Amino acid sequence: MPVQTPEQAIEAVLNESGPDYEGFRFETPGGGHQSDVYMVTLRHNGEAYEVVVKFKPPGDVPFAVEPCLHDFVASRTEVPVPRILVYEDDPDADVPPYFVTERIHGENLAEEFAGLSTEDRERVLAQAGRMLGDMHSEIGFEAFGRLTLHDDRIIVRDWMGNWREYFETLTRSHLAHLDGTPFEDLTERARAHIEPALEMVPEDGVPRLVHDDFRPANLMFDPSADAPVTAVLDWQDVLAALPEYNLAQTEFLFIDSSFQDPELQTSLRTAFRDGYREMRPMSFDEGYERRRPLYQLSTLLWRMAGFEAVFADESGLAVARAEAQYRQQFERLVEEIQAD
């Protein structure tokens, strides 16, 4: 009989891959993580040990690439990623493929970010800039596309040699997924503003490693540490893409969608860009500034497509407030693209 509950699935994993244990408990992470991730505390020889168990979600998801990317990134950069303890692509137990990682201590940044001091927010943004600069400096690919695993090697799936064409394909996919969401009425307006603006996007460039879900919910945070971001999580959605796309995306997810005060936005943006330039040259010139709202609109469309899953457990008032915020962000970005 297939495993029906998270508790049964975790127990099957521990029985198959874990040490002898006297008992365990588990919880799901906050910050909008998928329901297939569990933080597990087990007792072994009278002591408590903490791990994270992640199961392959339903559907055609390139799951095997994620544990491989943990090792790939850790061996080539200083970006903090959890160590893989176990990976089972074809478990003996009646559970989906899974992997187990060490649990990095700290709080989920998404749950702490709004309440941080400006100084701590700047520390986070500076480190985020350094981490992206590290990844963009050290890891490159021959073409643009989503990363997957083939014969135990990381490759670019459905690759393209033209960045503009790939970005257009990526954005059209986000638009298509608005069908059936609260934002489907915005589809044609978005398309009407995006299509003429695509000519601003460069065709050429060196594809670099891009964590396409690099947001506060996927960072662990410890304010007492010299480097406050203690881990980068969720390496499932990873691209070979142009670095400026990743930079604009990160500015949106950490700054422009989170804070309205122009002075605060400027201080955080400066910390982020200075951190990035510590690791890799980047001019953030007029061309980047013109393309930034286009890249950010694409990111917002991606967030809109996943809106209902993220807010499924929230109250009606919270959902209504979030939808209004997304629509305000949409109007601002459309206006900025139009102004260019």
Neighbouring-strand partners of residue 87: 99
- pLDDT digit string, tens, across residues 92-109: 999 999 999 999 989 999
Torsion sign across C-alpha atoms 310, 313, 316, 318: negative
pLDDT higher than 70, residue 89 = yes
Q: Which two tokens stand for residue 231?
A: 């881990």
pLDDT value of residue 2: 53
Reported confidence tier of residue 311, pLDDT bands at 50, 70, 90: confident
pLDDT value of residue 31: 58
What domains lie within the chain, and their CATH numbers?
A: 6-102 (3.30.200.20), 117-339 (3.90.1200.10)
Reported confidence tier of residue 1, pLDDT bands at 50, 70, 90: very low
Q: How many CB atoms neighbour CB 311 within 10 A?
A: 18
User: What is the share, in percent, of the chain residues with pLDDT greater than 70?
Assistant: 96
CA-based nearest residue to 9, from 103, 68, 91, 102: 91
Write down the mean pLDDT value for the chain. 93
Residues 40-66 as b/e (b if ≥16 CB within 10 A, e otherwise) read bebeeeeeebebbbbbbeeeeeebbbb
> Cα separation of 117 and 99, whole Å?
36
Distance between first and last Cα of the chain: 59
pLDDT higher than 70, residue 261 = yes
**Stretch 182-196: mean pLDDT, rounded?**
97
Q: What are the φ and ψ backbone dihedral angles of 269, each rounded to 5 degrees?
A: -65, -40
Q: Which residues contact 119 (CB under 8 A, 6 or more apart)?
A: none
What is the side-by-side order of every strand in the sheet holding 37-44?
Answer: 23-27, 37-44, 47-55, 98-102, 84-88
CA angle 54, 295, 300 (to 5 degrees): 55
Predicted TM-score (pTM) of this structure: 0.93
> Cα separation of 39 and 103, whole Å?
8
224: DSSP letter: T
Q: Which residues contact 337 (CB under 8 A, 6 or more apart)?
A: 193, 194, 197, 293, 294, 297
Helix (H) or strand (E) holding 273: helix 262-279
For residue 214, give Cα distances in angstroms to 97, 118, 173, 234, 281: 24, 21, 19, 9, 21
CA-based nearest residue to 193, from 289, 37, 5, 331: 331
Q: Which two tokens stand for residue 13?
A: 């994993």
Reported confidence tier of residue 30, pLDDT bands at 50, 70, 90: low
Q: Taking a C-beta distance cutoff of 8 angstroms, is the pair 292, 257 a contact?
A: no
Q: What are the φ and ψ backbone dihedral angles of 106, each rounded to 5 degrees?
A: 140, 175
> Cα separation of 257 and 160, whole Å?
30
- pLDDT digit string, tens, across residues 109-130: 999 999 999 999 999 999 999 9
> Cα separation of 268 and 254, whole Å?
9
CA-based nearest residue to 258, from 154, 147, 124: 124
